[in-house]
Structure 1
Amino acid sequence: MVEQTHFYSLSQPAKQPVSGFFDPIEISPSILPHNPFPDETLPPMYPTFPARYDPVLTGKCPVNFSSLTSIMDKTASDCSQPLAALVGNVICCPQLNSLVHIFQGFHSITSDKLVFQNSSANDCFKDIISVLESRGANGTIPALCSVKSSNLTGGSCPVKDVATFEKIVNTSKLLEACSSVDPLKECCRPICQPAVMEAALLISGRQMTINENKNIAGEFTHIDSINDCKGVVYAYLSRELPMDTANTAFRILSSCKVNKGIAAKNAVHTLALLVKMHPCGAVCPLDFKHPSEVIKACRNVVAPSPSCCSSLNAYIAGIQKQMLITNKQAIICATVFGSMLRKGGVVTNVFELCDVDLKDFSIQAAYGQQGCLLRSLPTDVILDNVTGFSFTCDLSDNIAAPWPSSSSISSISLCAPEMSLPALPTSENFKNTGLYITLQFYMMSNYEI
């Protein structure tokens, strides 16, 4: 029997927070709460999970998978079958990419090669996915995360063995920079990232130059080579660092990319200048269709408008079905969406008029009553024998979504010293009461892990 989820709403004015940190809410999406709407399908936050089984391997991959059990289990839980699409951008894909790097590094210990031959790469990649699937991972994660067997080969990078790598790269400098990556400082004052880029540039055999008159097609070839060589650098780090240390470092570097928090001027930014990416694709993973109906309903409002808020809420309800995002991604996504509205002629802060919060841009838990934002720091899906799969939600308070000052988002930066996250509302007359939710879930009797 599954007991009903309990909700507690405190009807009191919002208060000034004691500090900039907020207590997270623990949510176990794998465990099914009582469905208050029995005629409707369960929301994506409450799926069922497959049982584990013994994988069928090719027998042609020259790697002992038993030595990689811990990292395989972590990746399988982070990419679990029903959750992978919801957490792919912030949990699954960063961990899958880290596994690929660690797999290469582990292989190099006995082979002295930092990459696999094409045939071995195909067999090993099939085995990796088979093992992950047997442990509950989603079989679609290669496509979801754009990872393929060629990622194990080093691609177009000319340096693929340990001896040559160590002749070209100052490995002591590289290891010193990446052996202890600070999750709070790396994204804004990077140390490991420029060291990785410097090593990649050296082994690529090319000098990075920016010429505005260059053909963009040639630049993409250059970028592919640099990215392939970065993969080789990560493989070397995986070879030299303890597995947990390497995985932590790679996840922190991924979180910097996911949250787009790099501000320092270094080779990483030099490379980024060569890639023309859509703002939404670069920093916000959500797919925003053109909000024509919202613009039409909200263009001339100056005060709370039922038609405007109804249209805005309907649009955002569609966004809430896409995926889980981090709190910093939510800030950028809200700014991107607000900029689209401003560009369409909506000049009034309709987020404020219609009580749109940061949490409204992520998957909703508890049947649409509570948004879940993930922390900007690296996080994992946790699996244990009592609660099943769970992860931590952050910033579930009524934190207002930022309204952009213009229709341009070119000035967004999350690295200013004073920048963390928007403050909680402090007005005594704030019209929304604080909503706090306690989720109490119990295992289904037929649930298997």
Structure 2
Amino acid sequence: MRESGCTAGGLLLLFLVLLTCTYTSFGSSFFTPENYVLEAVNRNAPVISPSTEPQPQPQPFLPLLAPSPLTPYTNETPPTLSGLCAFNFSTVGAIMNTTATDCWASFAPYLANVVCCPQFDATLAILLGQSSKDTGMLSLNTSNSEHCLSDVMRILVGKGANETLQSICSVNPANLTQASCPIVDVNEFESSVDTSRLLAACSNVNPVKECCGQVCQNAILDAARKISLNDLSTSISVPISSGHVNRLDDCRHIVLRWLSSKLDPSSAETVLRGLSSCNTNKVCPLDFPSISVVAEECQGVAGNHSACCKSMEDYVSHLQEQSFLTNLQALNCAASLGIKLQKANISRDLYELCHINLKDFSLQVVSQESGCLLPSLPSDAMFDSTSGISFICDLNDNIAAPWPSDSIVQLPSCNKTSKIPALPTATSTRCGVQFLSLIVPLIASLSLPLKMPP
């Protein structure tokens, strides 16, 4: 859909989108185009052999240009807490800071499914896990869960997090309870589960290999299955029924809390975020509007295809208003849309015809007509007291969106024989370095709700 300016090896744009949002009063924020600064570096991306595994994340780096005079505001006054929550917030202070930055007020809805909500979920699991060392329980009762979640939100909002974070990430006090899982006592848990195997599988997770090998994920599932069937008169070898799925998922959260109690908070955060990335990259989080206009313009297209491509570009522009995506999510979204178009009797490869790339499915920087794909293992957002909030967009302009075929029905991320495009990755090799300091009109109409992955 859009062309790149750098030649040999392709153009890799590493975007640092700096949040320079100020607040008129504590807890309020505004999201306007003039509050954002884009700093881009053109780099030379060497030829990358096709990969079927998520790529390791690039290391975060600080802006290279002079900072914006506007900086994000955080409340310096410690929030008043309920006094009724047993969480030891001081032990996870660094993690709380990371969560507040990842879920910063104006960016939270657009980083929700990739960065913000996975970090928020990990924070709650770690808080519960660390708390269990004193309470002996891996859950809270209904009353305590309300107080604790309220305290967590007060701390995070005081550090700059979005006030509607609970709604954005679909978290409520019940998420801190045992829900339908029958075992939450630490001693009972450890007598029911092969804890040695669980720790061996999950203490040192390689987030790239884990997504395909699923060593830790399988150990967690086995432990969850055992405790979920604790009060049922059935063998653990019996297949899980549809009515048992919710209980199994509730117990999986209990297992994650227990793991978080056995690892130091930093290690637990790494494990939980790695596992969440595996799940996040399996789905496309976008809502697809009706393709009727595209189908009308593109069925049997031949010769002059400008009308078809115009309708296709208009359609994709609606997708670009929703969320930042990882490169693997973009592959899934391209496959999902392609299948919808094929079912509408469009056999022509519209991605090739209309020059649509993977970047075109993610949130766009309109004035530069550039998409932003996050790495498959997204970096946390970063806060700098002078330049604000920044995060890495990992983008190779030369990766075309793959049109689905009989052999590619869904993303073959772990199929070693499948051919998928080389994924974006960061490189320090420079290609005619140019520094840009531009105001980013980051789509004033960013209003579509996010569809959170299951």
TM-score range, shorter chain: 0.7 to 0.9
Q: CA deviation at 1:232?
A: 1.0
* 2:396 aligned counterpart, secondary structure: coil
| Bigger strand fraction | 2
2:114 paired with 1:123: no
Give 1:244's match in structure 2, choosing from 255, 258, 266.
266
Number of the residue aligned with 1:440: 437
2:40 counterpart residue number? none
Distance in 2, matches of 1:57 and 1:84, equals 23
| Pair 182,337 (structure 1): closer, same or farther in 2 beyond 3 Å | same
Contact kept, 8 Å, 1:328 with 1:421, in 2: the verdict is no
Task: Note closer, same or farther for the CA distance 1:415–1:304 as it changes in structure 2 (3 Å cut).
Answer: farther
Confirm or deny: 8 A CA contact 1:334 1:358 kept in the other structure: yes
SS at match of 1:386: coil
Residue 51 of structure 1 deviates from its aligned partner by 3.1
Q: Distance in 2 between matches of 1:91 and 1:163?
A: 33
Residue 156 (1) aligns with residue 185 (2): no
Shift of 1:237: 0.6
* Aligned CA distance change for structure 1 residues 176 and 258 (closer, same or farther; 3 Å): same
Deviation at 1:303, TM superposition (A): 4.4
* Superimposed CA distance per residue, residues 254-302 of structure 1 (whole angstroms, 9 cap, x where no aligned partner): 0000112xxxxxxxxxxxxxxxxxxxxxx11000011111111111213
What displacement does 1:318 show?
A: 1.0
User: What is aligned with 1:278?
Assistant: none
Alpha-carbon distance, 1:49 to partner: 4.2
Q: CA deviation at 1:411?
A: 4.5
Counting only pairs closer than 5 Å after superposition, residues 28-107 of structure 1 correspond to structure 2 as 28-31=17-20, 42=33, 49-53=72-76, 54-107=78-131
Distance 1:227 1:191 in 2: 18
Where does structure 2 lack aligned partners over 5 or more consecutive residues? Answer: 22-30, 38-69, 424-430, 440-454
Instruction: Give the TM-score of the pair, scaled to structure 2.
Output: 0.78
Bigger Cα displacement from structure 2, 341-350 vs 297-306: 297-306
Q: Counterpart of 2:311 in 1: which secondary structure?
A: helix
Q: Is the 8 A contact 2:79 2:154 kept in 1?
A: yes
* Residues 322, 363 of structure 2: 8 Å contact kept: yes
Q: Which amino acid aligns with 2:204?
A: S
1:182 to 2:206 alignment: yes
For 1:45 and 1:360, the matched residues in 2 are separated by 20
Tell me which residue corresponds to 1:277: none
Change (3 A) 1:344 1:61: same
1:203, 1:173 → 2: CA distance? Answer: 15
Check whether the contact 1:90–1:258 (CA below 8 A) recurs between aligned residues.
yes
Query: Residues 43 and 144 from structure 1, CA distance in 2 versus in 1: closer, same or farther, beyond 3 angstroms?
Result: farther
The letter for the 2-side match of 1:413 is: P
Give the C-alpha shift of residue 87 in structure 1.
0.5
Question: What corresponds to 2:238 in structure 1?
Answer: 209
8 Å Cα contact 1:43-1:367 kept in structure 2: no
- Contact kept? 1:24, 1:395, Cα under 8 Å: yes
Secondary structure of the corresponding residue to residue 395 of structure 1 = strand
Deviation digits for residues 331-367 of structure 1 (CA, Å, limit 9, x no counterpart):
1101111111111111111111111110000011252
| SS in structure 2 at match of 1:131 | helix
Q: Quick one: which amino acid aligns to residue 355 of structure 2?
A: D
The 5 Å alignment of 1:405-420 reads: 405=405, 410-417=409-416
Contact 1:362–1:372 (Cα < 8 Å) also in 2: yes
RMSD: 2.8
1:27-426 alignment, distance < 5 Å: 27-31=16-20, 42=33, 49-53=72-76, 54-204=78-228, 205=230, 207=236, 209-210=238-239, 219-260=241-282, 283-303=283-303, 305-365=305-365, 367-405=367-405, 410-417=409-416, 422-423=421-422
The total of aligned residue pairs comes to: 384
Q: Amino acid of the residue matched to residue 339 of structure 1? A: I
Choose 84-93 or 297-306, whichever is displaced more: 297-306
Q: Could you tell me how far apart the structure 2 residues matched to 1:321 and 1:144 are?
A: 16
TM-superposed CA distance for 1:251, in Å, is 0.5
User: Please, which runs of 5 or more residues in structure 1 have no aligned partner?
Assistant: 1-8, 33-39, 212-218, 261-282, 425-433, 443-449
**TM-score w.r.t. length of structure 1:** 0.79
Cα distance in 2 for partners of 1:436, 1:401 equals 27
Check whether the contact 1:251–1:378 (CA below 8 A) recurs between aligned residues: no
Provide the C-alpha distance between the structure 2 equivalents of 1:59 and 1:409, rounded to a whole number of angstroms.
55
Q: Structure 1 residue 437: deviation in Å?
A: 7.3
Give the superposition deviation at 1:380: 1.1
- For residue 274 of structure 1, what is the aligned residue in structure 2? none
How far the C-alpha of 1:62 sits from its partner, in A, is 1.4
Distance 1:423 1:437, change over 3 A: farther
CA deviation map 1:235-255 (0-9, x unaligned): 111111011111100001100
Whether the 8 Å contact between 1:49 and 1:82 is mirrored in structure 2 is no
